[in-house]
Structure 1
Amino acid sequence: MTAEDTTFGESVRAVRAGEFGADEAADRLIDRMTDGELLGLLDGDSPRRLLPLIPILLSRRPFVAGAVPRLGVPGIRFSDGGRGVVIGASTAFPVTIARAATWDPALEERVGLAIGLETRARGANYSASVCVNLLRHPAWGRAQECYGEDPVLTGRMGSALTRGVRVHAMACVKHFALNSMENERFEVDVRVDEHALHEVYLPHFKAVVDAGADSVMSAYNRVRGEYMDVNRALLTDVLRHEWGFSGFVTSDWVFGTHDAVASLHAGMDVEMPLRLLRARDLPAALRTGDVARATVLQSAHRILRTSVLHAATREVATPSAALIASPSHRALAHQVAAESIVLLKNETVGAARLLPLDPGIRHLAVIGRLATRANLGDHGSSRVRPPSTVSPLQGLREALPRMRITTNSGRNARVAAAVAAAAETAIIVVGMDHHDEGESVVTGGVDVGVLGRSLGSGLLRRPLIGLAHVVSRFVRGGDRSSLDLRPSDVRLIRAVTAANPRTVVVLIGGSAILTEAWRDRVPALLVAWYGGMEGGRALASVLTGSAEPGGRLPFVLPTDAAHLPAFDSAAKSVVYDDAWGQRRLDGEGHAPAFPFGFGLGYTTIEHRLLSHRFDDTGGSADVLVTNTGDREGSTVVQVYAADLSLDLPVAQLLGFQKTTLQPHTPAVVTVTLDAGPTLQRDPATRRWSPRPGEWALLAAQHSPSSWAHARPLRQTAGTDAESG
């Protein structure tokens, strides 16, 4: 029997043929279901005894929720996948924040297409790959899984990933909402006013919903005193009523459901990934009327409608497993890694800038504990296990087969300095790994009451503690305790740069790393992130000049951690306002080490704003961009607005466009502008209107420090703003 011979398969065929819609298909399936099958749609299918095995099973097979074999309903077949599919050996792309540094939504859509394809080839149909939580503070352990600090950049990149994933798999966006710290993610209560909530922390979620996200995953944390799975104000009033979201909501795993009935009433449709609270409580609640049948049917309809619609509109042919980590996907991983690398410094040493490496050098020293490791990032739920990896050292040896390359681990700074002194150029690879940052570990001391008092204190306490011990074998990390490098890395940089003035420092990590203690000693500095399975080759291509460093910072790099919001990884309650990152530095008058959007290339590029059109729905800006150098190069044209009536204007990114130019070549680049950052929402009417002030527009290559050449933002209807 084929899928098309089953009831679900026939529904898919009929919807694909236009005989009836997905809503009717869902209702027809519901009419065939028993109460037990309907309730089975609302949680995971695996028994709770598998709880301690989740970290192992997650990498081996999809987790299924809501399958109804009698009717051929396949259920939600879950795979994680922010940097690639976590099941089996799959393509490991650079982490999300590295891809944010490309500032290239078209490239990100290609990554989404590859992730969706590999997701389906692994037997899954649902990918929780789209993480759009804002980077409120770079100490957040899972910063590497987000797109940085800006709502517009995050919204556009997350939307692009969503569009790509949905070609083959249902796309889930997470973690809704205000999940930006790790160690206390299960309990922290986030307090936020209406302005910051709707104008800062939610617009990028709405952008991804508008891009077609099939599903939303609710966060662990509380918002305004309510856990997100029971937060009707956000799950129903905002997500469904205000935004019109018609897909389904799943819980974050195990600890993300606090009340079987209340969460269903609030709008959380599926408890993931096992049969836990809902399997125990919902049958009796339905019999006694504590939960209305209409409420169960509402969630069932959302799940089935979305599943049928996805199956009817996705690519029909099941992808071959041969496409997983295929040459084309490896090439894409290489391209993304190269375009993500951010060049922060490149000074002249002798007759020329230090990078790209002089092809005439004969002896290179590669130093540092991370030089010989692929270092793909966090070992938590987003971990991808590729069939092969390339370290920075291996990448350089492949790119420079005739060059003498000496290496040193850097554990002894004096020995490393001697190795560097004997070489013509030294490259130091330092930074973070999964021990320093990542998804937090659930420990035996966790308040297991997050699963409900009776389960936490009784039947599930031992499995939960067992889960914690199993997870702790695979996962370390959590929130960072410092934004600085390890002291041993700083000592190494100082020793090597003193021994060899031709030293390049490569930083590996998932967010901001402060550089003030050593930056002035270093002539060349790059951020290479967690670069994925091809990261070593991509880094070598940038260092040797066969590729250009195409990345731009997706966050500000301050000179002092005190210039950022306070961050307490043990806080049970936090306040989120609208001042963080570059915005906070602007508003308080602090100059950054490197501003948001900053990055150098191997050529020189000039730009000039020609004209713009803008109203409350958005607009566009035409910018003349000229490559004034002698080699091909790229830039990211960034357009910002600010209220100049303020003593210290705060830059708001409205739009951006990456472009590549041949030497001595001009081009006019059109940048699409988002009106959102210039608007305010009335909480009473839910209507949006322009923020008051003297708003002006500026085209730049990073967040501006001066508004001297800005132009008025809003013009008389039907006219353009011209720049001379």
Structure 2
Amino acid sequence: MPLTLQRRHLLMHGAATLVLAAIPVDLSAARISEAADRRFVESLLRRMTIDEKAGQLSLFTAPFATEVNPVTGPPPRVKEVQAMVRAGGAIGFFGSHDPAFLRSLQKIAVEESRLRIPLIFAGDVIHGLRTIYPTPLGEAASFDPDLCYRTARATAQEASGFGLHWFFAPMVDVARDQRWGRVTEGAGEDPWLVSHLSQARVRGFQGPDLKAEDGMLACPKHFAAYGAVEGGMDYNSVEISDVALHQVHLPPFKAAFDAGALSVMSSFNDIGGVPSTGNRHLLTDILRGQWKFPGLVVSDYESEKELIAHGFAGDEEDAVIKALTAGCDVSMQSGLYNKHIPALVRSGRLPIRIVDEAVRRVLRVKQALGLFENPYRSLSPDRRAQVEGTPAMIALAREAARKSIVLLKNEGDLLPLSKSGKSFAFIGPYVSDTVHAFGAWAATGDSRKVVTLEESVRSTLGAGARISFTKACTPTQPIDGGIDAAIAAATAADIAVLFVGESATRSGEAASTVSITIPPHQQALVEAVVATGKPTVVLLKHGRGLALTGECLNAQAIVATWFLGSQTGHGITDILFGDHAPQGRLPVSFPQSAGQQPYYYNHRPTGRPQTNPSQKSHKARYLEVSNEALFPFGHGLGYSPISYGPTQLDRDTVRKGGTLLVRATLTNSGKRTQHEVAQLYIHDRVASITQPVRVLRNIQHVDIEAGQSHMVEFELRPGDLAHIHEDLANEADAGWFDIWIAPDATRGISASVRLI
């Protein structure tokens, strides 16, 4: 599919409006094969030995050294893998992006193995392979499913030239604790937003035809509730109620499966003492029983082996039995399935029917990918040059970068900056940096093609511009004399632009932290520059919501720029100098302090709420800070002020099963067109289980011309007022609901409706 706009537009009052409901979910691309193909699978299954069945349930890393010495032959690891493939000992491999080598393995599989079962090749392609787009959390700030679809589609097109069939993405965990490093991989703290953006990414990865060269099997992860690990510590335990599990953490997975995803990855964590990879209730009762999921489950890296460290399995054999019996079909990397399944089946400890059902699911997914029909799909050696880093992909990366940027503060309308008449001092460790542009999970990105902020500023302002660039410190260490140089540069300029924040290594897997502030040596740089009194813009590099402190908060402008990928510099300058206005919105709350974590807007009310900051005695609050976010979920400024009129309803009562129209008038009192993201929230005042103070139920993108007003309209449907009950039924309670159309999760003028 060409990289053109896929969104549907509604033209209302001359403004283009994107409505999520206009983006269809197409399940046809990923349907499991029909009866004729199932007969083929059953025939193949009957001919397989127990060792070959174990092989189809075992996934391994591919060799990194693939060059063949003409004298000694292939490296030992390559020889080992070739022998494994010849014996039918693997479902496939992950981690290699060498299509020629992967094609050679496929040739062995389909020409030299006994049953000619093709391999599947996988990769951790999270936000681009060579062309890197913003990290998923950054892209989620666009609040734009269409953008997420297009970057996912482009990623699939590019990766298809590198021999891949299967992505370990998207990450759909709802993350409410910014200490957790893997917040950066997902779409934030709100289940509704995570669900819709995840659907878009699944559809983008898999494309309109999963059997096509660029159709990639999506793998939502991590099933389940990994975003709820205690203390925000990676790999930690999870203690949550069934209601929270079903209302918050499972909906994004169900949405991804509804979009056609045919694989899912189990999570490292336990839930209430039962590790996910051995959790039959999750992997069988819910996934296969309630949801009728037809695809395969793959463990996270050696997570079936980690059942032993959890204290859930006594040894490797016990771990294999419990993982397979729970419903984990494929073992990633540990080799335990290959090692133990044959003997366990022969001894009678592991029923062959459990093994057969897992193998059946694997073979059907390979059929859905078209591998039996065309085992060399996505393995053409000459396709890489055709699909790698195309001009359309570069343009899309730039668009995604600027649409991900969130303007948090703009005192005195300092931004946008003028391209002439002013001098600028660009200061900080990321001004000329290429190493940290990508963020986590982008090891295959081409850092040589990163556009830095310095490069983009120079090309934007041209020769003769009065600009300076001062590193001042590294991302992790101070530089002798760096602060003095920064002060001198700022003093000599009209405006200072600081580019500070997290390094790529402080965000991602195994990057949980108790400190979610700007690193101390960079904070010292901020303090010194702001103290010069020069108007200052702070650009933040980060993969989580930050707790900003000190003089950073006194800067006239603060901009969340996340990890923006290959087009970092151009994305920022597009916004900084006003070629485009910022339109991003926060997908996570920025807290006042790390001590507030976990912090999220859609929390439940308490019996002693703090209804205003002056109430300090015997209220649900901390001694040091109020309960408000520093910057709330959904927050984001533009370059023209937009005011929201009162929320209006087409009726004051609605029957269960009925629909409700909700409207508000938005007015642009500024001097330029503003792209606004109107957000629809609800609150159930009295329910059988207390409900969050607000819950997001829809969004609408609208362009409003200067001096003009525009009415946005939403339709609330029966399911929008429902919640999970104690018996896990999802239904609405009769009673009063508050409804807001608002610019973020804390504002708006509400209206009320009674459900009868």
The TM-score with structure 2 as length reference comes to 0.77
Task: Tell me the equivalent position of 2:571.
Answer: 538
Give matches, 1:539-578, under 5 Å: 539-565=572-598
How far did residue 623 of structure 1 move? 4.5
Which of 732, 738, 755 lines up with 1:690 in the alignment? 732
How far did residue 96 of structure 1 move? 0.4
- More deviation in 405-414 or 119-128? 405-414
Query: In structure 2, the residue corresponding to 1:656 is in which secondary structure?
Result: strand
Q: Deviations over 1:650-681 (max 9, x none)?
A: 11111112223333444444446576674333
Separation in 2, partners of 1:683, 1:610: 32
Task: Tell me the equivalent position of 1:27.
Answer: 42
Task: Tell me the equivalent position of 1:262.
Answer: 322
Separation in 2, partners of 1:497, 1:27: 70
Which of 404, 421, 432 lines up with 1:340 in the alignment? 404
Give matches, 1:281-430, under 5 Å: 281-311=340-370, 318=378, 320-321=383-384, 322-348=386-412, 353-374=413-434, 375-379=436-440, 384-386=445-447, 388-402=449-463, 403-411=465-473, 412-430=482-500
State whether residues 216 and 249 of structure 1, in contact with CA within 8 Å, keep that contact through their aligned partners in structure 2.
Answer: yes
Which of 593, 608, 611 lines up with 2:630 in the alignment? 593
Letter of the 1:251 partner, please give it.
Answer: S
Separation in 1, partners of 2:443, 2:719: 31
Letter of the 2:602 partner, please give it.
Answer: R
1:603 aligned onto 2:646? no
Separation in 1, partners of 2:266, 2:635: 33
State whether residues 366 and 372 of structure 2, in contact with CA within 8 Å, keep that contact through their aligned partners in structure 1.
Answer: no
State whether residues 135 and 146 of structure 1, in contact with CA within 8 Å, keep that contact through their aligned partners in structure 2.
Answer: yes
1:169 aligned onto 2:202? no
Separation in 2, partners of 1:648, 1:256: 36
Residues 1:249 and 1:256: Cα distance change in structure 2 (over 3 Å): same
- More deviation in 490-499 or 318-327? 318-327
1:230 aligned onto 2:300? no
Query: In structure 2, the residue corresponding to 1:505 is in which secondary structure?
Result: strand
Separation in 2, partners of 1:123, 1:95: 23
1:630 aligned onto 2:700? no
Task: Tell me the equivalent position of 2:523.
Answer: 490
1:681 aligned onto 2:727? no
Letter of the 1:544 partner, please give it.
Answer: F
Task: Tell me the equivalent position of 1:447.
Answer: none
Separation in 1, partners of 2:552, 2:736: 37
Task: Tell me the equivalent position of 2:167.
Answer: 127
Task: Tell me the equivalent position of 1:700.
Answer: 742
State whether residues 427 and 505 of structure 1, in contact with CA within 8 Å, keep that contact through their aligned partners in structure 2.
Answer: yes
Query: In structure 2, the residue corresponding to 1:294 is in which secondary structure?
Result: helix
Task: Tell me the equivalent position of 1:518.
Answer: 551
State whether residues 371 and 392 of structure 1, in contact with CA within 8 Å, keep that contact through their aligned partners in structure 2.
Answer: yes
How far did residue 390 of structure 1 move? 1.4
Q: Deviations over 1:77-112 (max 9, x none)?
A: 111111112xxxx11111000010000001100011
How far did residue 335 of structure 1 move? 0.4
Separation in 2, partners of 1:591, 1:509: 21
Separation in 2, partners of 1:45, 1:435: 25
How far did residue 39 of structure 1 move? 2.1
Which of 51, 62, 80 lines up with 2:124 in the alignment? 80
For structure 2, the residue ranges without an aligned partner over 5 or more in a row are 1-29, 64-75, 82-92, 208-214, 308-318, 474-481, 611-626
How far did residue 120 of structure 1 move? 1.9
Query: In structure 1, the residue corresponding to 2:401 is in which secondary structure?
Result: helix
Letter of the 1:696 partner, please give it.
Answer: D
Separation in 2, partners of 1:626, 1:73: 61
Residues 1:385 and 1:179: Cα distance change in structure 2 (over 3 Å): farther
Separation in 2, partners of 1:95, 1:287: 47
Task: Tell me the equivalent position of 1:8.
Answer: none
Separation in 2, partners of 1:314, 1:376: 40
- More deviation in 205-214 or 689-698? 689-698
How far did residue 605 of structure 1 move? 2.5
Q: Deviations over 1:172-224 (max 9, x none)?
A: 00011121359997863212111111111211111111111111000111112
How far did residue 313 of structure 1 move? 13
Query: In structure 2, the residue corresponding to 1:192 is in which secondary structure?
Result: coil
Task: Tell me the equivalent position of 1:445.
Answer: none
Residues 1:537 and 1:621: Cα distance change in structure 2 (over 3 Å): same
Separation in 1, partners of 2:633, 2:675: 17
Q: Deviations over 1:518-545 (max 9, x none)?
A: 2442111100000001011110110010
Separation in 1, partners of 2:333, 2:132: 24
Residues 1:679 and 1:288: Cα distance change in structure 2 (over 3 Å): same
How far did residue 624 of structure 1 move? 4.0
For structure 1, the residue ranges without an aligned partner over 5 or more in a row are 1-14, 441-477, 566-579, 717-724
Letter of the 2:126 partner, please give it.
Answer: G
Residues 1:522 and 1:186: Cα distance change in structure 2 (over 3 Å): closer
Letter of the 1:630 partner, please give it.
Answer: K
State whether residues 138 and 564 of structure 2, in contact with CA within 8 Å, keep that contact through their aligned partners in structure 1.
Answer: yes
Query: In structure 1, the residue corresponding to 2:238 is in which secondary structure?
Result: strand
Separation in 1, partners of 2:642, 2:373: 41
- More deviation in 387-396 or 148-157? 387-396
Q: Deviations over 1:35-69 (max 9, x none)?
A: 33222111125699969x99x98254589999665
1:40 aligned onto 2:55? yes
State whether residues 154 and 393 of structure 2, in contact with CA within 8 Å, keep that contact through their aligned partners in structure 1.
Answer: yes
Residues 1:18 and 1:179: Cα distance change in structure 2 (over 3 Å): closer
State whether residues 355 and 543 of structure 1, in contact with CA within 8 Å, keep that contact through their aligned partners in structure 2.
Answer: yes
Separation in 1, partners of 2:221, 2:486: 43
Separation in 2, partners of 1:621, 1:553: 23
Residues 1:552 and 1:490: Cα distance change in structure 2 (over 3 Å): same
State whether residues 643 and 694 of structure 1, in contact with CA within 8 Å, keep that contact through their aligned partners in structure 2.
Answer: yes
Task: Tell me the equivalent position of 2:69.
Answer: none
Task: Tell me the equivalent position of 2:336.
Answer: 277
How far did residue 317 of structure 1 move? 7.7
State whether residues 32 and 364 of structure 2, in contact with CA within 8 Å, keep that contact through their aligned partners in structure 1.
Answer: no
How far did residue 347 of structure 1 move? 1.4
Query: In structure 2, the residue corresponding to 1:356 is in which secondary structure?
Result: coil
Separation in 1, partners of 2:304, 2:551: 42
Residues 1:515 and 1:672: Cα distance change in structure 2 (over 3 Å): farther
How far did residue 333 of structure 1 move? 0.8
Root-mean-square deviation (CA, aligned residues, Å) is 3.4
Q: Deviations over 1:4-27 (max 9, x none)?
A: xxxxxxxxxxx9999855534433
Separation in 2, partners of 1:528, 1:313: 44
Task: Tell me the equivalent position of 1:454.
Answer: none
State whether residues 423 and 495 of structure 2, in contact with CA within 8 Å, keep that contact through their aligned partners in structure 1.
Answer: yes
Task: Tell me the equivalent position of 1:153.
Answer: 193
Query: In structure 1, the residue corresponding to 2:121 is in which secondary structure?
Result: strand
State whether residues 178 and 232 of structure 2, in contact with CA within 8 Å, keep that contact through their aligned partners in structure 1.
Answer: no
- More deviation in 478-487 or 616-625? 616-625
How far did residue 264 of structure 1 move? 0.9
What is the aligned residue count?
637
State whether residues 122 and 166 of structure 2, in contact with CA within 8 Å, keep that contact through their aligned partners in structure 1.
Answer: yes
Letter of the 2:453 partner, please give it.
Answer: P
Separation in 1, partners of 2:529, 2:31: 64
State whether residues 142 and 182 of structure 1, in contact with CA within 8 Å, keep that contact through their aligned partners in structure 2.
Answer: no
Residues 1:79 and 1:282: Cα distance change in structure 2 (over 3 Å): same
The TM-score with structure 1 as length reference comes to 0.81
State whether residues 494 and 521 of structure 1, in contact with CA within 8 Å, keep that contact through their aligned partners in structure 2.
Answer: no
Q: Deviations over 1:587-610 (max 9, x none)?
A: 654122211100001122234445
Task: Tell me the equivalent position of 1:179.
Answer: 226
Separation in 2, partners of 1:292, 1:683: 35
Q: Deviations over 1:361-403 (max 9, x none)?
A: 3421000112111323445577634551012222211211131
Query: In structure 2, the residue corresponding to 1:237 is in which secondary structure?
Result: helix
- More deviation in 116-125 or 67-76? 67-76
Separation in 1, partners of 2:32, 2:135: 39
Separation in 2, partners of 1:672, 1:114: 32
Separation in 2, partners of 1:367, 1:113: 36
Letter of the 1:372 partner, please give it.
Answer: S
Separation in 2, partners of 1:492, 1:696: 45
Separation in 1, partners of 2:32, 2:737: 51
